[in-house]
């Protein structure tokens, strides 16, 4: 029921193949790939060539999180690169419904990502073309930030709305997801967890140990 997706912006870019092989064997459910162009967020990260390279290394679903202005410009590009899921930010486009529909029409899962200060109202007219919602629990752009506690209520409100509408939409959480935040996020309704430096990439353990520990948390253990 609960899914773990390593955030590949945190992986060792000099040893991507090695890390993905280990993560695959450890049993992760998907890979989360952040795309930033320095405009919507103050950072630059990965691109379509990286997605293509990862696609050749794993059969796991690739979840592309586009953090750019006017993401509709890049849907075809990332589809051709091998994406299985694409999440776009509600704050970055004037054509949210149309872009989500296009993602689905291309055979991918369509996601809406929302920043901490963005109200859930932006989802009102796009639930029917949304497969998952990415609740940002930090302000996007950089790894290692602190979880914003108010996001627990936001996760709960979103889950309540999805249940009320009798929809099957996944609730993904992204930002400082680890032992201090997974239990309550899960309790509030999150089902999919992006793992960065607080969980999958904790430096004191191997990737395999980190995935095992994260899975244990998701299954109710310590």
Catalytic residues: 34, 174
Strands of the sheet containing 132-136, edge to edge, are 3-6, 192-195, 170-174, 132-136, 109-114, 85-89, 62-67, 31-36
Beta bridge partners of 89: 113
The CB density around residue 190, as the number of other CB atoms within 10 Å, is 29
Across 69-79, b (16+ Cβ under 10 Å) vs e yields eebbebbeebb
Rounded-to-integer distance, Cα 46 and Cα 102, Å: 22
Q: What angle do CA 172, 31, 91 make, to 5 degrees?
A: 45
- Rounded to 10°, the helix 48-55/16-26 angle is 50
């Amino acid at each position: 029921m609960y899914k773990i997706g390593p955030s590949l912006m945190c992986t060792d870019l000099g040893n991507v193949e090695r890390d993905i092989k280990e993560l695959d064997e450890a049993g992760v459910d998907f890979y989360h790939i952040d795309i930033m162009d320095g405009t919507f967020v103050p950072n630059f990260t990965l691109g379509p060539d990286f997605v293509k390279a990862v696609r050749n290394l794993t059969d796991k679903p690739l979840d592309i999180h586009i953090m750019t202005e006017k993401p509709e410009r890049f849907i075809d590009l990332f589809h051709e690169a091998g994406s299985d899921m694409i999440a776009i930010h509600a704050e970055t486009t004037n054509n949210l419904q149309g872009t989500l529909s296009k993602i689905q029409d291309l055979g991918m899962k369509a996601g809406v990502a929302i920043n901490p200060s963005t109200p859930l109202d932006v989802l009102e007219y796009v639930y029917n073309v949304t497969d998952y919602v990415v609740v940002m629990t930090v302000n996007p752009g950089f790894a290692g930030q602190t979880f914003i506690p108010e996001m627990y209520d936001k996760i709960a409100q979103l889950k309540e709305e999805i249940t009320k509408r009798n929809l099957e939409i996944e609730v993904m959480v992204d930002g400082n997801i680890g032992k201090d935040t997974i239990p309550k996020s899960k309790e509030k309704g999150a089902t999919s967890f992006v793992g960065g430096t607080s969980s999958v990439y904790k430096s004191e353990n191997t990737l395999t140990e980190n995935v095992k520990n994260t899975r244990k948390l998701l299954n109710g253990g310590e």
